[in-house]
Amino acid sequence: MIRAKQIRIIDEEGNQLGIMTPEDGLRDANERGLDLVEVAPNASPPVCRIMDYGKYRYQQSKRAKESKKNQHTVVVKEVKYRPKIDEHDYQYKTNHVREFLNGGNKVKVTIMFRGREMAHPEYGQEIIQRVADEVKDLCSNEVNAKTCRLEGRQMSVVLSPKSNR
């Protein structure tokens, strides 16, 4: 697939073999039982390397997996409350908020209103403020429930975990 008339060849140890035609480079690579791979097509002349292409691809995939393993994606978890929530249910859900923040995830605390509960958004603000106060040791942002807006039938706030650095 190499279309250039002249190419610069580098062997498997990194030594330059010189400038030659692609046919000569392929013949040289086949004699060694390896592949001829174009590594710098925009150079003048293009640079090709004699290498085991299958082994090269395998090593690249291993490197990609290793770098992926060290990444941490931040997920937004959502915990939904109701304005007339019972104390035990409130504690149970708040414990989940603590676990999610300890795990390094953001948490969206949502208050869902139904029917006539919409007439009293202050109940939802109280619950949001209470949750924020209970987990403020794990949060990086200050929460003021008075600034929470009612979006449709829901009121929500996003809590971010403290960074570990």
DSSP assignment of 22-40 equals HHHHHHHHHHHT-EEEEEE
| Confidence band for 149, pLDDT divided at 50, 70 and 90 | confident
The CATH number of the structural domain formed by 76-159 is 3.30.110.10
The arithmetic mean of pLDDT across residues 140-151, rounded, is: 81
- Overall fold of domain 7-68: Ubiquitin-like (UB roll) (3.10.20)
The C-alpha torsion from 46 through 47 and 52 to 54, rounded to 10°, is -50
| Confidence band for 89, pLDDT divided at 50, 70 and 90 | very high
Distances (CA, A) of 134 to 20, 90, 94, 125: 73, 11, 8, 14
β-bridge pairing 150-151 and 106-112? unpaired
Domain boundaries, the chain: 7-68, 76-159
β-bridge pairing 150-151 and 76-81? unpaired
Helix (H, G, I), strand (E, B) or coil at 55: helix
| Confidence band for 164, pLDDT divided at 50, 70 and 90 | low
Note if the pTM is more than 0.75: no
